[in-house]
Structure 1
Amino acid sequence: MLVRLRNIILHVLGASFFALSCASQSLMAQSYPNRPINLVAPYSAGGDSDFSGRNLAAVATKYVNQPLIVQNIVGASGTIGSLKVRNAPPDGYMLLISRVGSQAIVPALDSKTPYKWSDFTFISLLDLNPMVCVVKSDSPYKNIKDLIQAIRSDPGKLNYATAGPGTSQHLSVEIMLNAANLPSSAATMIPYKSGGESSAALLGNQVDFVCNTMTTLAGQIKGGSMRGLMVSTPDRLKDYPEIPSSRELGLSQFEQATGWSGLFGPPGMPQEVVDKWTETLKKVAQDPSWEAGNKSAGAIPAIRSPSETELFVRQQVQLYEKLGTSLGLRK
């Protein structure tokens, strides 16, 4: 009898605690946000995640009525910053500016990544960063056909710079070569420590070409130091009408090579907090300042629903798992 009574009391107490916990989370969500929100950019200042975070912060602050503070927490191909958010309290006050590298490529290629691609609360995509293949402005290769013909004619002679094996710069070239029915060995990869160093290598005549995000290379293209040969979009970009799209060049497979940023949270975020961000981002998407910020950096606004974002990331992971397997990069 005493045992039964004890079990009844424990059950009632447990149910009460659960109800109080749910009520507490609901109240927290209703008052969210009531203090500054940290946006973790897992790559260095000046990079794509840094741009996306600061562009979002500049516009969304007026809609959430709280400061949005971008923190660059870098290292290990973006996994250090990503892991910090994955392990943060799910209260919506620390969010991740996710990137294709840290959220799709690294988990797809390295089984020792300290998180799975799905270990986050998906809030939205933010922007797409088309990949663009470039040469130095005085290069003899005037268009992508010239470059591919040179690669085909003398396999292994031409080289390209990347921020390392398995990065988006490397894999985008692999996709380009595959689209042109060329093996990986047709062009030689020269790894550097960062995308900035790879750009400097091209300008210093150390390599023949580079493929990187338009966000990263927009300044050099606009400034005339680099010539764009192909962009990974179905149509030409309005601000770069001189650069042909991969589709019109018959290399539509290159459209898969797209950089992107998103807004993710720790696992288990209350639905009310996610909903508040969904409503906020609908306003951001209509804000002229958001459009202008993306335009200035050659990025394409891409705000989507949480479910659409999760599906997009899943497809990206599957793409890089398949590509990594074919190239022997998975470990």
Structure 2
Amino acid sequence: MKKFVLVVALIALLSVSVFANGTAEAGSSAGFKPTKDVEWTCTSKPGGGSDIFTQQIKEALKSQGITDANVVVSYVTDGGGEVGRLQVSMTNKAKADHTLLTFNSGDIMPMVKNTDNRIENFTPLAVMAVDKQLLFIGEKSNYKTFQECLDAIKAGKKVVIAGSKGDDIETYNKLIAELGLKESQLSYITNDSTSGAITSLLGGHVDLCMSKPAAAAQYVEAGKMTAVLALSKSRFKTPSLKDAPILSELGYKDVEVPVWRGVVGPKEMSPEAAEFWSNCLKAVSESEVWQTGYIAKKGLISDFKDYKEAKAYMTEYQTNYLKEIGK
């Protein structure tokens, strides 16, 4: 009888500890729970789209009570982000379970094109959303519309776009190909992050800036930037972006390079930790703060894929891109 009472007491004590705050941690069923600081690597500079994405998730993990882990974001942008990606891919032992990396299609393209690093050296955890680019003018821009830019080029003037790496470069290449222009006519300056490109635009050093909605949002709201072309097959629905036309409205075929945004861990991350983090990210994607404060506000498309789906999705994307570039 005493043993029975003791067992009941222990069960009650465990129940109180797990449900004291109403719910257990989102990933607790996976058999893993962080026991040290979590290092989250972002391979773009602060202020860019990848940073905003990372910070939004970090804040949601905390504010929504999804996990009480202490997440520390570090920015490793050397080599266009390749140094940071290589460091994460080589992280091993117990540290692997406490290491995360912001990873999107704009990262995988230059990685597989310029290095031997591959998605097989990571543990995909989730795909969270899909993003697209626009072209913006600034307060000091010489042109008010994208058509004015095209007219200037036809008149023999050079127009300059500032943007980031990866998917931005891919989008630019498809844009000039569709427009039938040379790089010397509509040139492109590569920055380590979109925030750097925006700084160039606001300083009057370039004519246009390529950016996704999130990175440009605060400047658009302040009236410092205006969207003049949506690089998409349909106009953006966000009020501040809906007036930007798509290429087909200007007499060309539409150009778009959808960008999926996700999170991965090191290759040696344990299956239990992978499931834990994937569950946490799913909880973030389903939260109101994420859907309204990030997806809707920043003009993205919600598209969650868990760690199993993300692995297949990222692997297929890599395979198709390698075929596209002949590698």
Task: Give TM-score, length-normalised by structure 2.
Answer: 0.75
Quick check: 2:246–2:254 contact (8 Å CA) kept in 1? no
Partner of 1:108: 112
1:117 paired with 2:116, answer no
RMSD over aligned CA atoms reads: 3.3
Q: Deviations over 1:110-131 (max 9, x none)?
A: 1xx2622331111111233321
Report the AA paired with residue 60 of structure 1: L
How far 1:171 moved relative to its partner?
A: 3.0
1:72 paired with 2:75, answer yes
How far 1:167 moved relative to its partner?
A: 4.1
Following the alignment from structure 1 to structure 2, what is the Cα–Cα distance between the partners of residues 289 and 116?
Answer: 33
Summarize the alignment of residues 147-226 of structure 1 with structure 2, pairs less than 5 Å apart. Answer: 147-151=149-153, 153-154=154-155, 157-163=158-164, 167-191=166-190, 194-226=193-225
Partner of 1:95: 100
Distance 1:118 1:145, change over 3 A: farther
Following the alignment from structure 1 to structure 2, what is the Cα–Cα distance between the partners of residues 33 and 251?
Answer: 51
Partner of 2:20: none
Distance 1:171 1:322, change over 3 A: farther
Quick check: 2:175–2:255 contact (8 Å CA) kept in 1? yes
How far 1:263 moved relative to its partner?
A: 0.9
Distance 1:288 1:215, change over 3 A: same
Partner of 1:244: 245
Report the AA paired with residue 99 of structure 1: N
Q: Deviations over 1:201-224 (max 9, x none)?
A: 323332221212222222222222
Report the AA paired with residue 217 of structure 2: A
How far 1:29 moved relative to its partner?
A: 5.5
SS of the residue 2:53 aligns to: helix
SS of the residue 1:46 aligns to: coil
Report the AA paired with residue 210 of structure 1: C
Following the alignment from structure 1 to structure 2, what is the Cα–Cα distance between the partners of residues 36 and 276?
Answer: 15
Partner of 2:264: 264
Distance 1:307 1:180, change over 3 A: farther
SS of the residue 2:73 aligns to: strand
Question: Which ranges of structure 1 fall in alignment gaps of 5 or more residues?
Answer: 1-26
Distance 1:55 1:89, change over 3 A: same
Partner of 1:305: 306
Following the alignment from structure 1 to structure 2, what is the Cα–Cα distance between the partners of residues 108 and 155?
Answer: 37
Number of equivalent positions: 293
Partner of 1:32: 33
SS of the residue 1:64 aligns to: coil
SS of the residue 2:284 aligns to: helix
How far 1:321 moved relative to its partner?
A: 5.0
SS of the residue 1:170 aligns to: helix
Following the alignment from structure 1 to structure 2, what is the Cα–Cα distance between the partners of residues 299 and 86?
Answer: 28
Quick check: 1:37–1:67 contact (8 Å CA) kept in 2? yes
